[in-house]
Amino acid sequence: MHPYIALVPGHGARVRDGRPTHDPGASCIGRDSEGRPETYIEDDRVRTLAPRLASRLIAAGLGCGIYDAAGPSPASDPGRSYRHRCLSGVAAANAQGFTSCLVLHLHLNAGGGNYAAAIHHPGEASTPRWAAAIETALAAVPGIKRRREQSTVAAFPRADGLVQAAWAAGRSHPSVRVHAIVLEPAFLDQPDHWRHLSDGGLDVLADAITAGLVAGLELR
């Protein structure tokens, strides 16, 4: 049985010390398809991508849902809102009778790179294969390259907290084996990627991510 896919968009709304706040993530002033300035904000772009990706995964026969409710995140524990979202996804997998769940954190990179990164823990069974398949599919998208090395939490240490948030959620539902990938399919500040950050361009990313997961899960 394939895993349930819990999509967790990054950044966005949260509740800090009992008050609603907002974390937009990274941002960049890029160019649209007509060459006009356009502001790309991480939390907005991943929340536009998430429903498009979910619809494609469901059409491919995968159980899938989006988990984005704001959770408590006091200043002393900024990761709590992610654990809240992960827990909602794992609980949904458990309620639907799935024995495994892949928490797919959706983010966008910054720093001028040109590759896609499906970041995972190298010691976790199956997840490296799924991550490699996603990166291969995204590398077929014009302008997006593939990293020479595996995209592990050792190379992206800030992603480790998101992986740990998913695993912590799994401890609340021991009948569900939880896996985690932190997906950064493009760079906000890479001009070669701006075409894929527009509303239409995000469809291309959603298609590629779906193709990668289908191949990695060996559903064909």
* 43, 26 contact by CB (below 8 A): no
Question: In this predicted structure, what is the pLDDT of residue 30?
Answer: 87
Question: In this predicted structure, what is the pLDDT of residue 73?
Answer: 87
Residue matched to tokens 């819990």:
6
Question: In this predicted structure, what is the pLDDT of residue 31?
Answer: 84
Q: What residue type is assigned to position 120 of the chain?
A: H
Please give the Cα distance from 209 to 183 (Å, whole number): 9
Q: Divide the 220 residues of the chain into consecutive groups of 10 and give the mean pLDDT of each group.
A: 95 88 92 84 97 98 95 84 95 98 98 96 93 98 94 96 96 96 97 92 97 89
The pTM assigned to this predicted structure is 0.96
Question: In this predicted structure, what is the pLDDT of residue 220?
Answer: 56
Question: In this predicted structure, what is the pLDDT of residue 77?
Answer: 85
Please give the Cα distance from 53 to 73 (Å, whole number): 27
What separation, in Å, do the N-terminal and C-terminal C-alpha atoms of the chain show? 14
